Amino acid sequence: MNILLILQISELHENFIKSDTYFYLTKIEKSKYKYCKK
């Protein structure tokens, strides 16, 4: 596999983690988890 491609993918992944979408999704998951624990 192309090393440059792997680097691009990991960069995209990092950007996604930093993005609001990821934050929002984890927030939902955490609240679901809290809700399920009750």
pLDDT digits over 1-38, tens only?
Answer: 688 887 888 888 888 777 787 788 888 787 876 766 65
Q: What is the pLDDT of residue 18?
A: 78
What secondary structure letter does DSSP report for 16? Answer: H
Phi, psi of 16 (to 5 degrees): -65, -40
For the packed helices 3-18 and 20-37, what is the interaxial angle rounded to 10 degrees?
60
pTM of the model: 0.37
> How many angstroms from the chain centroid is the CA of residue 17?
4
CA distance 32 to 14: 24
